[in-house]
Amino acid sequence: MKKHMKLTWAYIFVIVFGLIMIFPLIWMFFATFKDNKELFGSLTILPKAFSLEPYINGWKGSGQFTYLTFFANTFKLVVPTVAFTVLSTGIVAYGFARFNFPAKRILFGLMISTMMLPDAVIMIPRYVLYNKLGWVDTYFPFWVPGLLACYPFLIFQQIQFLRGLPRELDESAYMDGCNPFMVYARILMPLLKPCIFSVIIFQTLWRWNDYFNNLIYISSVKKFTLSLALKMSIDSQGASTPWNQIMAMSLLSLIPPILLYFFAQKYFVEGVTAGSIKG
Partner 1 sequence: MGYSKNWKWGMIFILPWFLGFCILQAYPLIMSLYYSFTDFSILGSGDFVGLDNYIRLFTKDKYFIKSLTVTFKYALISVPMKLLMALIVAMILNMKLKAINLFRTVYYLPSIMGGSVAISILWKFMFMKEGMVNGFLGIFGIEGPDWLGNQNMSLITICLLVVWQFGSSMVLFLAGLQNIPTDLYEAADMDGAGKIMQFFKITLPMLTPVIFFNLIMQIIHALQEFTSAAIITGGGPNHATYLMGVKIYEDAFRSLKMGYASATSWVLFVIILLITMLIFRSSDAWVFYNDGRD
Find the binding residues for partner 1 in span 14-73 (CB under 8 A): 14, 17-18, 21-22, 24-25, 27-28, 40, 43
Interface size with partner 1, residues (CB under 8 A): 95
Q: Is 254 in the site for partner 1 (CB under 8 A)?
A: yes
Q: Is 10 in the site for partner 1 (CB under 8 A)?
A: yes
Selected range binding partner 1 among 48-56, 69-77, 95-103, 187-195, rule: CB under 8 A? 95-103
Selected range binding partner 1 among 65-73, 75-83, 111-119, 189-197, rule: CB under 8 A? 111-119
Nearest distance in Å: CB 222, partner 1: 19
Selected range binding partner 1 among 63-71, 73-81, 117-125, 191-199, rule: CB under 8 A? 117-125
Nearer to partner 1, 79 or 110 (CB): 110
Give the number of other CB atoms < 10 A from CB of residue 188.
21
By CB under 8 A, the residues from 208 to 227 that bind partner 1 are 208-209, 211-212, 215-216, 226-227
Nearest partner of 57 among 194, 181, 240, judged by Cα: 240
Name the amino acid, one letter, at 42.
Answer: S
Selected range binding partner 1 among 47-55, 64-72, 116-124, 188-196, rule: CB under 8 A? 116-124
Q: Is 80 in the site for partner 1 (CB under 8 A)?
A: no
Nearest partner of 57 among 33, 39, 26, judged by Cα: 33
Nearest distance in Å: CB 40, partner 1: 6
Nearer to partner 1, 199 or 246 (CB): 246
Nearer to partner 1, 52 or 122 (CB): 122
- Given a contact cutoff of 8 angstroms between Cβ atoms, the answer to whether 217 and 55 are in contact is no
- List of residues 6+ apart from 201 with CB closer than 8 A: 260, 261, 264, 267, 268, 271
Q: Which of 1, 49, 105, 118 binds partner 1 (CB under 8 A)?
A: 118
By CB under 8 A, the residues from 147 to 176 that bind partner 1 are 147-150, 155, 167, 170-171, 174
Q: Which of 83, 112, 144, 191 binds partner 1 (CB under 8 A)?
A: 144
